[in-house]
Amino acid sequence: MTTDRERPVTVLGGGRFGRALASAVHRAGRRALLVSRSGIDIGGPPPEGVEAVGELARAVAESNLVLIAVGSDRMVEMARELGAVCSGRHSLVHGLRGLVTHDHGETLEPASVVLRRETDVRRVGVLAGPLVATSVLAGRPGGCIVASRYDECIAEVRAALTGPMLRVYRTDDCVGVEVAAALVGTLAMAAGFALGAGFGPSATAVLVTRGMRDAGHVGRLFGAHPETFTGLAGFGDLVAAMADEERPEVRLGRLVAEGRSWHDAIRQVGRVGVELTMLAPRIVALAKRSKVDVPVLEAIAGVLSGAFDTPAALRSLMERDLS
Amino acid sequence: MIRLPRLGPIRTSPDDPRLFSFNNERDAIVHDVVERVTTGRSPGEVERLLADAAYEEIRRLESQRDAEASADLSGWRSRARRIHGMDAGERSAELARAASHYAWDIAGNFDPRVFRFVTRLVPTLLTGVMAPSTLPNLLGGDRWLGDRVLTQGDTDLLRRLSKNATLVITPTHSSNLDSVVFGFALERAGLPPVTYGAGKNLFTNPFISFFMHNLGAYRVDRRIRALLYKEVLKAYSCVLIERGYHSLFFPGGTRSRSGGVETRVKLGLLGSAVEAWVRSVVSGHERPVAIVPLTINYVLTLEAESLIREHLKESGRAQFIMEDDEFSQLDRWNTFFRKTLMMDAAVILRFGTPIDPFGYRMDDTGASYDSRGRLVDRRSYVLKDGVPAMDANRDAEYTRELGEIICQHFKRETVVVSTAVVAKVLFARLAQALPGLDLYQRLRMRGQVIVPREEVLADIDALRGKLRALADQGKLVLSPVVDGTPAPQLLERALSAWSGYHTRPAARWQDGGLVLEDLNLLYYYQNRLGCFAKDLAATTPAHASRAAEATR
C-alpha cells in the first residue's frame, strides 16, 4: 500500500512561483507533478526532476497534497475544477499573495474560503512569507510559513518542502497569513515608492511599520491574530520584499516614483501590478464600512486612485493628530 | 434513584427501538467507558488526571457542604494524600476506580414500561389536568395537545434514516421543558426514543426525576470540573452512539439566557458524535451518524424572566445553574400550561436536514451529498496512509467546523413566532423613543414609552414583509400564525400570551396606545430575531403580507 509520503505532490501553475515550488518538492526528495493549463513551456521547461502533467485529474488522483500557485483571477475557476476531482483525503494549499474579489470588488475573500466553498476538501492551508521564487529555484537558503487549522496539512507541506535549504514554519492562523500576504504587497509597493522618491530611511520605516499596523487592523476584520502580522507572513515577507529589487511590488513603486505613469509602470511589472492597484482601494473601502482607521492604507489608496498626489498623501500622514 | 421493580432482564423484540436494550447492555457500556478512559495512558497522564480530579473534587465538595458531599470528600482527601506515594500500577487502578465511580453516576436507565406509560397516557392526562374544559374530549387529548405542539421538518426521512444510521439530535435550548416537549414530538412523529444527558439539578424534582431516570436520561453534573469526569462523560456519549443508541444533546450546553438562537456551541459532546463515527470506520464496520439540528420555538418561555435577568447580570453564563427559577415553582408551571394550552402552535419543533459529521446532507440510506449534489466519500476524510485512523487534532477541527454548520442550520430553521415579532417591533420603538441611551439605561425606562396602536400595526406589517422576504430566501421560517394572521390579531395574540403568566405584562393598553412595561421581557423575546439583524437591515419587504392583503 502507498503511504502518504510516497505519493507525489501536485503543483498547479506553471509560472515562476509554481516552478519554484515544484523544484523545492523535488529537492526535498518527493516526486513533483507540475500542472499548468496554459502549458509548461510558458515559463520554460519544467525544472530538473519535475514531471509536467497535462491533466489535472490524473495528478490529483495520485497526490494527497496539492500546492496551488495561480493568480487571484484564476482562483475561483481553479477551485471549481479541483472540486470536481478532490476528496476528503486531499490537502489544498495555496500561495496567493492577494484576496479574491467578487461583486466588482465589493466582496473580498481569502482564497482558503473559496477553496472550502468550492471543494469538499477540509484540509486547506496557505503558504506565505519570504518565499522568493528565484532563491528557491537557485537553491539558496530561505524559509516560509504554512498556515492551516489541520496539523496533517502542515505536516504534509513540511514533508514536501523542507530540505537543507528551506525551512517551513507553521501557524494555525490561516486567514491572518492570507491578509498579511495580500497587504505586504501593497506596503512593499509603498516602500518602493518611498525609497524611489527619496523619502529617506526614517520616513520609509514609519510608513511600513504604521502600514503593517493598519494591515493588522484589517486582518482583525477577517478574524486574524494581530501577531501574525509581526511574523514571517507580515514583516518577514516585507523585509524580503524590500531587499529584493526584482520584486514586482517594489519595482512598481520605484517606477512610479521615478516619474512613470501608473499605466506604464503596471505594464512593466505585469499582472501583479493590476491586482495591487485594485486591492488597496477595496481594502480601504472595507475598513471604512467597518469603521476601522487605516491612515497609511488610505493614503496609498488615495494616491493609487488619483484622489491626491504624493505631497498631499505625505502631508495627510504627517499632520495626523498624534493623540 | 427511583426505579420500578423488575425480576429478570428486559426482553426485547427485533422491532423494538434500540433503547429498549439499554439496561441489558449497561454493564458492558460502563465497562467500555472505563476502559477507554483509562487504557493507553502514560504514567504521567494518569498521575495528572488523578491529581486534577482530587483537587477539583475537594474544592467542589468543600463548598457543597451537604451530607452527600461529606462522604465523598473524605474519600477524595484520602486519595489525594495517597496519590504521590502510589506506584504506577496502583495509580492506574485508582484511576479506573474513580472513572468507574463517575461512569456509574452518569449511566442512565431505560424502562420500556415507563416509556409505554408516558407515550400512551401522559399527553391525555396532561391535557385533562391542565385544561379541564377539554375533559369531554379526554380520549382525544393527544390530538388536542398535538395542535399546541407542532412538529415540522421531514420526519418521514428521519424515521427511515433511523434504521440505517444513529441519530444525534441537537436542539436549540430555551427551557427545561425542551426535553418534555421534544419527547412528546418525537413520539408523535413516530421517531425512536433517544438517550440524552440531563443536568443533575433536574433530578432534584422527584416527579421529573422519576421520568428522567427511567426514560434513558444520563446525569450530567455540571458542578464537577475534573478533567477525568469530562472524559468519562464524553466517552459515555461516544460509546452510546457507537453502539447505535440514538442520542440527544443540547450543543449550546445550557439554556439560552438571552432568548437568542445559539450562534456558538460547545464542542465536547458534539466531538463524541464525530469520534463515534470515526471509531466505527476505523473498526471496519461503519455505522453512519446523522446529526439532526432542531429548533424549539416557544411563543411563551416558561423561564423567560429569570433567564433574561441572568443574561443581563452577565453572571449566569454556562457555569451558572439556577436552582430556583420558574421551573421549580409549581404555580408557574400551572399558569404556563394553562396559557400554552390555550394557544394553537404554542411550541413549534422544527427538525432540520440530517447532516453527517462533516455537515453534508444525508439521505434516508445514510449516504452523504455535498452542496452540488455530489456523493461524498466520508471515509476519505479519515484516511492515513490509505487506511482509516484516529487523529485527535483532525477530529477536533472537524468538530469545530460541525459546530459552526449546526449554528447555520439553527438560524435557517428558526421559526419566527408572534411574540418575537411583536417584541421586536416594540423594542425598536423603545430605541427610537430613547436615542442616546445605552441598552441598560433603556431597560430601566419602564412605562415611559407609549406607542400608538396604528403605528405598532404598521410596524408589524413592515417587519413581517421583511421576514417573509427572508423566508422566501430560505433564511428563516415563519410560523403559521405569523404568516397568516392579520396584524391586529397577531398583536393581541402576543399580548395575551404575555399577560397573566409573566409577573408583569410586557406591554399594556392605555388610551389607545401600548405602554412598554417589562422591557427585559421585550428584550428577551425580540432577541430571538437578533441573529437576523444584518439580514433584516439589508432586506426590503418582498411583498405586502398575505395577512394584510386578507384584511383589505
Cβ-contact B345, B481 below 8 angstroms:
yes
Identify whether residues A189 and A78 lie together within a single domain.
no
Lowest mean pLDDT among A57-66, A152-161, A292-301, B422-431: A292-301
For residues A112 and A192, membership in a common domain is answered with no
A168 domain residue, yes or no = yes
Task: Give the model's pLDDT for residue B7.
Answer: 60
Percent of chain A at pLDDT > 70 equals: 96
Is the minimum CB–CB distance between B398 and chain A shorter than 8 Å?
A: yes
On whether both A18 and A164 belong to a single domain, the answer is yes
Classify residue B180: in a domain, yes or no.
yes
Pair (B259, B180) in one structural domain: yes
Closest-CA distance, B397 to chain A, in angstroms, reads 7
CB-based contact A3 B385, cutoff 8 Å: yes
Question: pLDDT value at position B394?
Answer: 96
Say yes or no for a CB contact (<8 Å) between A88 and B377. Answer: yes
Low-confidence ranges of chain B (pLDDT < 70): 1-10, 119-147, 202, 204-205, 207, 314-345, 542-552
Is B538 in the same domain as B389?
no
Task: Give residue B309's identity as a one-letter amino acid code.
Answer: R
Boundary (domain end) residue, out of B381, B412, B443: B412
CA distance B265 to B243: 25
CATH assignment at residue A90: 3.40.50.720
3-state secondary structure labels for all residues of B122-184: HHHHHHHHHCHHHHHHHHHHHHHHHHHEEEECCHHHHHHHCCCCEEEEEECCCCCCHHHHHHH
The answer on A299 and A254 residing in a single domain is yes
Residues A12 and A154 in one domain: yes
- Whether B307 is covered by a domain: the verdict is no
Q: Which of A172, A191, A209 is the last residue of a domain?
A: A172
Tell whether B317 is covered by a domain: no
Count of other CB atoms within 10 angstroms of residue B353? 18
Cα A262 to Cα A260: distance, rounded to the nearest angstrom:
6
Joined grid coordinates for residue B37: 478512559
CB distance B397–A4 less than 8 Å?
no
A140: in domain: yes
Is position B199 within any domain?
no
Poorest-pLDDT segment among A229-243, A269-283, A300-314: A300-314
Q: How many domains does one find in chain A?
A: 2
ipTM for the whole complex: 0.87
Whether B181 and B253 map to the same domain: the answer is yes
8 Å CB contact of B380 and A151: no
Same domain, B146 and B171: yes
Cell reading at B66 = 451537604
For residue A158, the enclosing domain spans 4-172
Phi/psi of residue B435, each to 5°?
Answer: -70, 155
Distance from CA of A52 to the nearest CA of B (A): 25
Residues in chain A with CB shorter than 8 Å from the CB of B394 are 150-152
Final residue of a structural domain among B77, B101, B125: B101
Asked if residue B118 and residue B93 are part of one domain, the reply reads: no
Residue of chain B nearest A80, judged by CA positions: B372
Considering the domain architecture, whether residues A303 and A205 belong to the same structural domain is answered as: yes
Nearest chain A Cα distance for residue B393, angstroms: 7
Residues 6+ apart with CB under 8 A from A49: A23, A26, A32
Q: Which residues of A touch B379 (CB under 8 A)?
A: 88
Residues B266 and B390 in one domain: yes
B315 domain residue, yes or no:
no
Whether B258 and B344 map to the same domain: the answer is: yes
> Is B384 in Cβ contact with A4 (below 8 Å)?
yes
Cβ contacts of A96 within 8 Å, gap of 6 or more: A68, A70, A71, A72, A75, A111, A126, A178, A181, A182
Evaluate whether residue A190 is within a structural domain.
yes
Q: Residue B317: its pLDDT value, please?
A: 45
**Backbone conformation region of residue B291, classed left if phi is above 0, alpha if psi is from -120 to 50, else beta:** beta
Confidence at residue B142, expressed as pLDDT on a 0 to 100 scale? 54
| Same domain, residue pair A13 and A132 | yes
Examine the fold and report which residue of B412, B443, B471 is the final residue of a domain before the chain moves on: B412
Q: In what order do the strands lie in the sheet with A9-12?
A: A50-53, A32-35, A9-12, A65-68, A91-94, A123-128, A142-148, A166-171
Instruction: Check whether residue A185 and residue A165 sit in a common domain.
Output: no
Residue A323 falls within a domain, yes or no?
Answer: no
| Beta carbons of A93 and A152 less than 8 angstroms apart | no
Confirm if B368 and B361 have CB atoms less than 8 A apart.
yes
Among B139, B120, B138, residue whose Cα is nearest residue B128: B138
Domain-embedded: residue B83: yes
Pairwise CA distance, residues B155 & A114, whole Å = 34
Q: Which of A172, A188, A217 is the last residue of a domain?
A: A172
The residue among B27, B40, B49 whose CA lies nearest residue B94 is B49
Same domain? For A165 and A199 the reply is no
Res. A311: pLDDT tops 90: no
For the domain that residue A278 is a member of, what is the CATH number? 1.10.1040.10
| Residue A189 covered by a domain | yes
Nearest to B380 among A83, A89, A150 (CB): A89
Residues of A in contact with B402 (CB under 8 A): none
Shared domain for B143 and B281, answered yes or no, is yes
* Contact assessment for residue A166 and residue A24, using Cβ atoms and an 8 Å cutoff: yes
Min Cα separation B439/chain A (Å): 21
Phi, psi of A242 (to 5 degrees): -70, -25
Give the angle subtended at the CA of A94 by the CAs of A92 and A99, to the nearest 5°: 125
Q: Are both B295 and B444 inside the same structural domain?
A: no
Listed in sequence order, the residues at least 6 apart from A260 whose beta carbon sits closer than 8 Å to its beta carbon are: A268
Question: By mean pLDDT, which of A2-16, A37-51, A59-73, B383-397 is the weakest?
Answer: A37-51
Same domain, A43 and A140: yes
Provide the 10 A C-beta neighbour count for residue B249.
26
Residues B332 and B474 occupy one common structural domain: no
Identify the pLDDT of residue B146.
Answer: 65
Distance, CA of A115 to CA of B289 (rounded, Å) = 26
CA distance B138 to B132: 9
Cα separation, A236 vs B119, whole angstroms:
66
Picking from A88, A149, A150, the nearest residue to B380 by CB comes out as: A88
Whether B264 and chain A come into contact, CB under 8 Å, resolves to no
Nearest to B405 by CA among A6, A14, A260, A122: A122
Residue B264, Cα to own-chain centre: how many angstroms?
Answer: 13
State the average pLDDT over residues A282-287: 92
CB atoms within 10 A of CB B28: 11
| Domain end point (choices A108, A137, A172) | A172
In a domain, residue B118? The reply is yes
Question: Whole-number mean pLDDT of chain A?
Answer: 90
Task: Mark whether A168 and A307 lie in a shared domain.
Answer: no
**Could you tell me if A15 and A126 lie in one domain?**
yes
Shared domain for B123 and B63, answered yes or no, is no
Section A58-62 average pLDDT: 95
Average pLDDT over residues A122-145: 92
**How many domains are contained in chain B?**
3
Confidence band, pLDDT 50/70/90 cuts, at residue A268: confident
Taking CB atoms and an 8 Å cutoff, what residues of chain B touch A87?
Answer: 376-377, 380
Specify whether B368 is located in the same domain as B493.
no
Residue numbers of the domain that contains B93 = 38-101
